[in-house]
Structure 1
Amino acid sequence: MPSPSASGLLVAGTSSDAGKSVLVAGLCRALARRGLRVAPFKAQNMSNNSMVCLDGGEIGRAQYLQAQAARVVPTTAMNPVLLKPGTDRRAFVVVRGEPAGTLEAGDYAAGRAHLAEAAFAAYRELETTYDLVVCEGAGSPAEVNLRSGDYVNMGLAREFGLPVVVIGDIDRGGILASLYGTWALLEDEDRALLTSFVINKFRGDVSVLEPGLAEITARTGVPFHGVVPWLLDVWLDSEDTLEVGHWRASTALSATARDRLKVAVVRLPRISNATDVDALAVEPGVDVLVTVDPAVVEAADLVVLPGSRSTTSDLAWLRERGLADVLSRLAASGRPVLGICGGYQMLAREIEDDVEGRVGVVPGLGLLPIRVEFGADKVLARPSGTWRGHEVEAYEIHHGIARRLPPPPGEVADPPAVQGFLDGWNDGPVWGTMWHGTFENDDFRRAWLTVVARAVGSEWQPTLDAPGFAERRERMLDTLADALEEHVDIDALLAPTRVGTGADVSAGTRSQSR
């Protein structure tokens, strides 16, 4: 059974992308609004979407957002282990925000004892600092093949006596079987920690669902403490690259609406920090489509090459798909192409990689006059700068270092079109920067998109009185918290914890004592 005064609770899921990250973010905001000092925690992420904390350490983007939801400063303790897939069989390991080697597929189940130690130490750090720790599991707790080395799902719950909430996405279908199957596959000691089921993304009449919920509770003894409705306007930073662009357009980009701006984002196989384009997608009149279709890319006003965890491998994929030729044609015709981090590196004339892909020297797309060399040390930074008078704050996560090549023989100076751009370069219609997160700066985003629109003859103009990106994110977090307060019995979820029923949670008792 969970500890009667557990320091936290664990939100597990029936699968990846079941809604764990969203539920944790919503709980963090709801509890913060109640006056609690709450921290998010995920013992281990496997994700290429990450963020740099103010102390210079790297954590999963979802945990960074959850800390913002909790209105606390994000730290590396909130995501002590981050695995960044580089190939289908190898992941790069980040421990407490710093690179810590690689993990091979064969070592995944049993070769992680040192990572578990780091994760448990981080949790202990948080539980002594905050009123409550809201933990997010990974994948499903019913992955019995991984149970012996688990420290992020039931292994974490057993270590700290945490009550476990299991959330399932009803939109996927088979929700009752998924919830029952999760319970049935757990060991008795793990099963005893399950205290709640929650349904996510429900559309329709709840009364139709209720007989099924009652039957599952009768068979498992686990009560349902919430049915969260489908929240159309809530999409939050995801750690799951299978779900890039929750906001994404569902149809091909329009070829006729001249007052709109059409943006194609190339969905690279090892796409990284795809959240860079979220702010583009919420800009009024900007249509964003994540795609691998060369025809869609060629029809766009702007093409974005996002970050990549395997730059040279994804560059080879661009060539295999015919997308490299499309990008060259677009640039030659004057249509804008933007590369961010790994995408920027692909635009180089030459790439030397003996670190990430270990392929030596390979030709880049040749669209920017730079050479990229991969260094052993990872760059983790929170840079700031300006572009045409607009302030820009960003973050950097990369091994590749881009250097400007000198003019070709016979040219005494750079062509006038080559200019600096956010610590990167711009050559005519081609733009590149190592900086992530630049489009979250509202004034810069709108000014830069205006330049893009004029270059392609679009009549798009920014809506200056539209909510800014940070404001929209705050609204989404509050909307999510409102939905949980209305549709989830939060008090029941908290009951087995030290801030549960009978505890003085009106003003955050632990935070007042510090």
Structure 2
Amino acid sequence: MSGALLVAGTTSDAGKSMVVAGLCRLLARGGVRVAPFKAQNMSNNSAVTVDGGEIGRAQAMQARAAGLAPHTRFNPILLKPGSDRTSQLVLRGRVAGSVAAGDYFTHRDRLAAVVADELASLRAEFDVVICEGAGSPAEINLRATDLANMGLARAAHVPVILVGDIDRGGLLAHLHGTVAVLEPADQALIAGFVVNKFRGDPALLEPGLRQLHTLTGRPTYGVIPFHDGIWLDTEDSVSVRPGGLVGPPQPPRGEQTLTVAAIRLPRISNSTDVEALACEPGVDVRWVADASDLAAADVVVIPGSKATVSDLAWLTERGLAEAIRMHAARGRAVLGVCGGFQMLCRRIDDSVESRAGTVAGLGLLAADIVFDREKTLRRWDTPLYGFEIHHGRVVGNAEQDWLGVGIRRGAVYGTHWHGLLDNDAVRRAWLTEVAGAAGRTGFVVADDIDVASRRDAQLDLMADLLAEHLDTDAVLDLLAHGPPSRPTMRTALDRPTG
């Protein structure tokens, strides 16, 4: 078998990443040498690769699904937004400056060559490459600079499956409209549709899918049911909403639960760090953005940030900074990860990210942070798993060492390590400490939760759902023969006005 396929979506968070991961796992289980590929990702959730670079976390997860170690070639272009208009450009795993939305066109040809080179290399090495689109191909205002959706599909002549999340409503219009607004040459590559997160009786949906086929000339390859067991490795910030739970709550093993308030920063990065806590029975993790939400919390977590100084100012403006200090003053636990760790320190000297110079931190840890122009990228797999992605370095530290990967003062903890809580022994020991600090004597830390196995089980679950509900023969045919002949629809640009 040989071939490539692009999984595009009607919106962000439509399920592209999980469908790609499920296909990678399904094919790998069948003995196919498969690799994931996302030409360009825009996300502050990232991971360090075995070749010492940085890629989107979803591509690291998809590599795991395919039985591969994460590598920069799976995501050659990563944009990490630091504001509404500028992003850090990570090219082949390394920082290559910053780009503004308005001048991205000037980089297009150079970046397109990188994408073409990496995809060609993967297709030469692997039997199959499953590509993931970015956002939606219906963003026709961005078509001229598109490298990840129809720009990629057209350049590489690969078929496209369009995935939509029916749980949001309006999906049939989204699917029809996405095809309708595309140029005819782009339309020709849209092979068919996949409905994601369906609840209810599929028979009720069937008449709509038949009409969609009549209107577009394209079949629906599958209707994937909603499953609340799939929630780990969420990449898109769209799904990280204040007030929302991180994963379905697990019943406690003891008489009490432990409540974790995770701060939903405006420029949050690696929000997935708190997912390991949500795997624990009796640990309820909720995203919060208001000071009042901290009053009943046993633990506060400040996650990473792509705009540390700006997000620190946001904490102050919303009263969260003072609420965090009060929480710590009561002896309850506060954990800062990466940017959140930097905020807990006395001072931050940043002439790189925000160029704000020296600003005061929360002062809960006796250490200072100085930003380096060179980004620190490190990955460990033994004896502990974790990785670092940051410009800030710790200086003037007068605090107690924490596990050799961070510092602590009483119940205030800080680390630059992402993924630290995925280490089961570390997480259990830490939960025992913070439950004691909160006076939760009736909380029992489970001794049988294996987060790595939970992540693998979700990949297998997604593969199982695709095996049962997706027309896999049709997908294999696309991989073997490329884009099928599909009719051209009239676009909005073709229609007369008046």
The interval holding the TM-score normalised by the smaller chain is over 0.9
Counterpart secondary structure, 2:473: helix
Q: What is the aligned partner in structure 1 of residue 341 from structure 2? A: 344
- Within the candidate set 440, 443, 446, 1:463 is matched to 446
- Within the candidate set 98, 113, 119, 1:117 is matched to 113
How far apart, in 2, do the equivalents of 1:384 and 1:422 lie? 15
Counterpart secondary structure, 1:199: strand
Q: What is the aligned partner in structure 2 of residue 88 from structure 1? A: 84
Q: Does 2:172 correspond to 1:189? A: no
Q: What is the aligned partner in structure 2 of residue 290 from structure 1? A: 287
Question: Do the aligned partners of 1:56 and 1:382 also contact (CA within 8 Å) in 2?
Answer: yes
Q: What is the aligned partner in structure 1 of residue 263 from structure 2? A: 266
Counterpart secondary structure, 1:382: strand
Aligned pairs for 1:230-269 within 5 A? 230-244=226-240, 248=245, 259-269=256-266
Aligned pairs for 1:376-387 within 5 A? 376-383=373-380
Tell me by how many angstroms 1:265 deviates.
Answer: 0.2
Tell me by how many angstroms 1:333 deviates.
Answer: 1.4
Aligned pairs for 1:310-459 within 5 A? 310-383=307-380, 391-405=383-397, 418-458=400-440, 459=442
How far apart, in 2, do the equivalents of 1:195 and 1:339 lie? 46
Counterpart secondary structure, 1:495: helix
TM-aligned CA distance change 1:185 to 1:167, over 3 Å = same
How far apart, in 2, do the equivalents of 1:422 and 1:15 lie? 42
Question: Percent sequence identity over matched residues?
Answer: 53
Q: What is the aligned partner in structure 1 of residue 64 from structure 2? A: 68
Over aligned residues, Cα RMSD in angstroms?
Answer: 2.1
TM-score for both structures, normalised by structure 1: 0.90
Q: Does 2:150 correspond to 1:154? A: yes
How far apart, in 1, do the equivalents of 2:189 and 2:385 lie? 43
Aligned pairs for 1:454-493 within 5 A? 454-458=436-440, 459-466=442-449, 468-493=450-475
Q: What is the aligned partner in structure 1 of residue 216 from structure 2? A: 220
Q: What is the aligned partner in structure 1 of residue 9 from structure 2? A: 13
TM-aligned CA distance change 1:485 to 1:383, over 3 Å = closer
TM-aligned CA distance change 1:181 to 1:12, over 3 Å = same
Residue identity opposite 2:335 in structure 1: L
Counterpart secondary structure, 2:355: coil
How far apart, in 2, do the equivalents of 1:337 and 1:499 lie? 55
Tell me by how many angstroms 1:227 deviates.
Answer: 0.3
Question: Do the aligned partners of 2:35 and 2:130 also contact (CA within 8 Å) in 1?
Answer: yes
TM-aligned CA distance change 1:44 to 1:66, over 3 Å = same
Counterpart secondary structure, 1:400: strand
CA offsets per residue over residues 173-222 of structure 1, 9 Å max, x none?
A: 10110000001001111111111111000011111111111111111111
Q: What is the aligned partner in structure 1 of residue 480 from structure 2? A: 498
Tell me by how many angstroms 1:500 deviates.
Answer: 8.6
TM-aligned CA distance change 1:264 to 1:60, over 3 Å = same
Residue identity opposite 2:445 in structure 1: P
Tell me by how many angstroms 1:259 deviates.
Answer: 1.5
- Within the candidate set 197, 201, 205, 1:209 is matched to 205
Residue identity opposite 1:262 in structure 2: T
How far apart, in 2, do the equivalents of 1:25 and 1:465 lie? 26
Question: Do the aligned partners of 2:166 and 2:197 also contact (CA within 8 Å) in 1?
Answer: yes
How far apart, in 1, do the equivalents of 2:285 and 2:199 lie? 26
How far apart, in 2, do the equivalents of 1:370 and 1:201 lie? 46
Tell me by how many angstroms 1:236 deviates.
Answer: 3.1
Q: What is the aligned partner in structure 1 of residue 31 from structure 2? A: 35
How far apart, in 2, do the equivalents of 1:99 and 1:443 lie? 34
How far apart, in 2, do the equivalents of 1:218 and 1:484 lie? 24
How far apart, in 1, do the equivalents of 2:62 and 2:246 lie? 26
TM-aligned CA distance change 1:173 to 1:95, over 3 Å = same
Q: What is the aligned partner in structure 2 of residue 409 from structure 1? A: none
How far apart, in 1, do the equivalents of 2:448 and 2:310 lie? 42
Q: What is the aligned partner in structure 1 of residue 164 from structure 2? A: 168
How many pairs does the alignment contain?
Answer: 478
Residue identity opposite 2:213 in structure 1: T
How far apart, in 1, do the equivalents of 2:281 and 2:404 lie? 24
Residue identity opposite 1:279 in structure 2: A
Question: Do the aligned partners of 2:77 and 2:90 also contact (CA within 8 Å) in 1?
Answer: yes
Q: Does 2:194 correspond to 1:198? A: yes
Q: What is the aligned partner in structure 1 of residue 278 from structure 2? A: 281
Tell me by how many angstroms 1:421 deviates.
Answer: 4.2
How far apart, in 2, do the equivalents of 1:200 and 1:422 lie? 43
How far apart, in 2, do the equivalents of 1:102 and 1:224 lie? 40
How far apart, in 1, do the equivalents of 2:315 and 2:290 lie? 11
Q: Does 2:126 correspond to 1:143? A: no
Q: What is the aligned partner in structure 1 of residue 488 from structure 2? A: none
How far apart, in 1, do the equivalents of 2:143 and 2:482 lie? 29
Counterpart secondary structure, 1:140: coil
How far apart, in 2, do the equivalents of 1:280 and 1:86 lie? 27
How far apart, in 1, do the equivalents of 2:481 and 2:27 lie? 10
How far apart, in 2, do the equivalents of 1:485 and 1:41 lie? 21
How far apart, in 1, do the equivalents of 2:180 and 2:402 lie? 59
TM-aligned CA distance change 1:225 to 1:185, over 3 Å = same
TM-aligned CA distance change 1:194 to 1:433, over 3 Å = same
How far apart, in 2, do the equivalents of 1:350 and 1:489 lie? 56
CA offsets per residue over residues 142-165 of structure 1, 9 Å max, x none?
A: 111111121110111111110100
How far apart, in 1, do the equivalents of 2:101 and 2:189 lie? 29
Tell me by how many angstroms 1:239 deviates.
Answer: 2.3
How far apart, in 2, do the equivalents of 1:341 and 1:17 lie? 25
Counterpart secondary structure, 1:392: coil
